[in-house]
Structure 1
Amino acid sequence: MPKIFSSSARPAAAPDRTAGSRPEAAVSLSSVTKVYGRGAATVHALRGVSVDIPRGSFTAVMGPSGSGKSTFLHCAAGLDRPTGGTVTLGGSELTGLDETRLTRLRRDRIGFVFQAFNLMPSLTVLQNITLPLRLAGRRPDRAWLAEIVERVGLADRTGHRPAELSGGQQQRVAVARALVTRPEVVFGDEPTGALDTVTAKEVLGLLRQTVDELGQTVVMVTHDPVAASYADTVLFLADGALADALTAPTAELVADRMSRLGAWA
């Protein structure tokens, strides 16, 4: 499970899971703070968050509205810069990179799946999937591309455009696009929020499969206890701080913990 540490004491880096200790971290946040505004309008979105997320794991991030979960994801994924503390992806400290290098890192080493799909309507399924590679000036690995297209169940839809697909199929395109660069981490921001229950379960099962069969690391923000139950671990945020972590979650356990976050301290 993700290791949560106080801001004052943090163990040294540990070897990966083959060494018989805790798994190597894919993403590490150390004493991360994020403050918006000034004076009376100051908002402390994150308050000294420290956590290691292991490679090859599925982590869900939950919390009530305003708890800081979206800010957590944005800082962890290099979409926003923390006010204080450090974020490390593999051996790269994101907080020390300029915007050009940060953009390159996000493009090459991070995958994103958003609630709104964010597909290009004029491009085919295959063109949408390979867009990150085209932007990076890279040619796709044909074997890998064929595998992920097959895994997401779109082998017979590669020539279609988004408007010709269902919502679930569009989100599968987004998942394939996130995987095509072989990213170190896939971040999902409410990836099933716009889907019906049955389709959401299909997409969540697909994300679970990428972890179990491909060794992918997935970090997903969600408000849904059922979605969170697909993860290995659920991190709970409250008032910008990590309140708790739950391993082997069920929807019932997650819902119960969420109901008590108001008194987490």
Structure 2
Amino acid sequence: MGAGVEQAVTLSAVARLYGRGDSQVSALRGVSCGFARGSFTAVMGPSGSGKSTLLQCAAGLDRPTSGSVFIGGTDISTLSETELTKLRRERIGFIFQSFNLLPSLTARKNVELPMRLAGRRPGRAQVDQALRQVGLGDRGDHHPSQMSGGQQQRVAVARALISQPDVLFADEPTGALDTNTSREVMGLLRSVVDHAGQTVVMVTHDPVAAAWADRVLFLADGAVQGELYSPTVAAVTEHMSRLGG
């Protein structure tokens, strides 16, 4: 973590255990890492390495067994469930592999949803701006069934960005998309970092997707096993092959 660089998310000695007694499994083993504001980090590792658990703990979806997680200067491990829910709605954006759009709602209404759940009413101009930001300014009245997979994922990105979150967490965002559509979505995530100063933390198994990031953080057996800056597809692939991924 560079001195003087403000961290959007910081994990300090985070451990996560599941189960009890002899059947206990260590998903994370004392992980410490930071994600700088305005940066794009990919998190990679073999199956079972703890990358999804890392994302869930960092995003306040799961509580660490020990250690602490900070969103900006807020130690989220000290928050009540109610406070945590409020923080997730106001300061964190999520993008998932399955787009998680509500089929009965238009694109515009899907984008509005997180703010409405938080008790805020976004203005139409704000929603339209979010849709324009993802290249769907003319699709606000369309339902998910009238859109391609790539367009649905773009709506999901707009929904994640509407509240101008401190950090955007993406879990395999291109996992359900073909190569060309994946490239469009990754280009979009890259642009919200470069042009909107957004912070993106993305779990992926795809070296091509990871190469869009500024940094790749590698996990294996619940621990950080190195990082790579200005990653290339070849360098990521080679590092993953050493980890057995």
TM-score scaled by structure 2? 0.97
Instruction: Deviation per CA, 1:74-124: give whole Å up to 9, x if none.
Output: 000000000000000011111100100000000000000000000011000
8 A Cα contact 2:150 2:181, kept in partner: yes
Q: Say if 2:43 is the partner of 1:61.
A: yes
In structure 1, C-alpha distance between the alignment counterparts of 2:71 and 2:89, rounded to whole Å: 13
In structure 2, C-alpha distance between the alignment counterparts of 1:142 and 1:56, rounded to whole Å: 27
Aligned Cα RMSD in Å?
Answer: 1.3
Which residue in 2 is equivalent to 1:97? 79
1:221 equivalent among 203, 214, 219: 203
The one-letter amino acid paired with 2:143 is R
2:165 equivalent among 183, 195, 200: 183
In structure 2, C-alpha distance between the alignment counterparts of 1:117 and 1:29, rounded to whole Å: 27
SS in 2 for 1:74: helix
8 A Cα contact 2:129 2:137, kept in partner: no
Which residue in 2 is equivalent to 1:75? 57
Q: Aligned residues, how many?
A: 245
Which residue in 2 is equivalent to 1:113? 95
After superposition, the Cα gap between the structure-2 partners of 1:22 and 1:225, relative to the gap in structure 1 and judged at 3 Å, is: farther
State the identity %: 64
SS in 2 for 1:182: coil
In structure 1, C-alpha distance between the alignment counterparts of 2:183 and 2:147, rounded to whole Å: 18
8 A Cα contact 2:108 2:128, kept in partner: no
Moved more, 156-165 or 145-154: 145-154
In structure 2, C-alpha distance between the alignment counterparts of 1:181 and 1:223, rounded to whole Å: 28
1:47 equivalent among 10, 19, 29: 29
Instruction: Deviation per CA, 1:13-59: give whole Å up to 9, x if none.
Output: x8xxxxxx441000000000000011221110000000111000000
Unpaired segments ≥5 residues, structure 1: 4-13, 15-20
TM-score scaled by structure 1? 0.90
In structure 1, C-alpha distance between the alignment counterparts of 2:208 and 2:55, rounded to whole Å: 20
8 A Cα contact 2:108 2:127, kept in partner: no
